[in-house]
Amino acid sequence: MDQKDIDISIEDGMVTIRGEKTEERKEESDKKVYLYERSYGSFQRSFALPAGIDSSKVSAEFGKGVLKIHVAKDGEAKPKGRKVEIKSS
C-alpha cells in the first residue's frame, strides 16, 4: 500500500483508519501468461481514544509499509491512580 491510499480521521473521540488496496501482478514468459493475480479491496478500522488525549496533537507517519499514529496526553490530565496506605488493626 502507498501513503496516498490511506485516510485517517478523528471524530468524537474515535480514530478511524480507512484505506483501499489495489494491486495487480502479472508474470509473463514468451508472451504466455503464467500468472495473473489481483488483490484489491477497501478496509476501515475505528479505535476509541483514551480519556485525557489532546486530539489536536495526534500525528501520523508512514514509512516502509508501516503506519504509526502518535497521540499526546492533554496537559491537564492527572493520573487516576494513587497509593493506598495500609493500616494495621
Please check the confidence at residue 79 and state whether its pLDDT lies above 70. no
What does the pLDDT read at residue 45? 94
C-alpha cell at 15: 480514530
CA–CA gap between residue 81 and residue 19 (Å, rounded): 38
* Predicted local confidence at residue 36, as pLDDT: 66
pLDDT band at 16 (very low <50, low <70, confident <90, very high): very high
Give me the sheet containing 32-48, strands edge to edge: 6-11, 14-29, 32-48
Contact of 58 with 30, CB cutoff 8 Å: no
pLDDT, tens digit (0-9, with 9 covering 90-100), for 20-45: 888 777 666 666 666 667 778 899 99
Burial grade of 71 (CB within 10 A; 0-12, 13-18, 19 or more): middle
Spell out the CATH class of 3-73: mainly beta
DSSP assignment string, 21-32? EEEEEEEEETTE
The 10s digit of each residue's pLDDT in 56-75 is: 888 999 888 888 988 888 76
